[in-house]
Amino acid sequence: MRYRLVIFDWDGTLMDSESRIVACMQAAARDAGWGELSRESVSDIIGLGLPEAIARMCPGISGQQALLLRERYSHHFVLADQTPQAFFPGVEAGLARLRESPELRLAVATGKSRRGLDRVFAANGSGAWFHASRTADETRSKPHPQMLEELLAEFDVEVGDALMVGDTEYDLDMARALGMDRVAVTYGVHAAERLARSTPTFTVDSFPELIDWLCH
């Protein structure tokens, strides 16, 4: 194994959750009186913390309206989360293969809240797959590298021995800020051309392709 620590984004990298996020955010914007948000504008912010996402989607929104939009998004998402979401093809088998390496540590760095990540961990038992996780409401939102800095410190791993895997420029730019290797997955939210601007170390079109690259 070429790395000691592999860090994964969640939405759009491990879990196929784009449609649910878009629908819940659109409903929340209507509830908050902001109006319609396009699918493209919501997809663009997946990976950011919720306050940062709303500020980007809704320029000029008042603090009170932004708070209402956040509350309504959380409401819609919790209701929707009662129906489990699917992992992308190959994720469960691929992570199981990585867990066979006793020296490798696996972690999650996500724009989700801690409550949201713990909810999905509990729903499908996936929390046991990872040695640590960081969420946007307990550190700083991507693309700031604080999540990665904390995970490196927790495991006492040098940046050259760690890898970030993600589907957005926010994931890749977070790693690039530290000089960390980074893999872009093209099956998620941001297009391959956009991901290429963040100079990924490697680019894959499927999760099994990532596992083969890591394990060869």
Q: Which residues have a Cβ under 8 Å from the Cβ of 59 and sit 6 or more positions away?
A: none
Comma-separated ranges of CATH 1.10.150 domains in the chain: 18-80
- Mean pLDDT within 93-120: 95
Distance, first Cα to last Cα, the chain: 8
Does pLDDT of 84 surpass 80?
Answer: no
pLDDT at 21: 93
Q: What is the pLDDT of residues 122-151, one digit of tens each?
A: 988 999 999 999 999 999 999 999 999 999
Topology of the domain comprising 18-80: DNA polymerase; domain 1 (1.10.150)
The per-residue pLDDT for 148 is: 98
Q: How far is CA 3 from CA 105, 121, 163, 164, 210, in A?
A: 9, 24, 7, 10, 13
Residue 83 confidence (pLDDT):
76
Q: How far apart are CA 167 and CA 175, in angstroms?
A: 12
Write the pLDDT tens digit of every residue in 20-37: 999 999 999 999 999 999
**How far apart are alpha carbons 25 and 66 in whole angstroms?**
12
- Whether 85 has a pLDDT exceeding 80, the answer reads yes
Q: pLDDT grade, residue 78 (50/70/90)?
A: confident
Fold type of domain 5-16+87-215: Rossmann fold (3.40.50)
Grade residue 214 by pLDDT with cuts at 50, 70 and 90.
Answer: very high
Q: Where in the chain is the domain with CATH 3.40.50.1000?
A: 5-16+87-215
Question: For the residues 89-114, what does the mean pLDDT come to?
Answer: 96
The pLDDT score that the predictor gives to residue 81 is 76
pLDDT at 152 over 90: yes
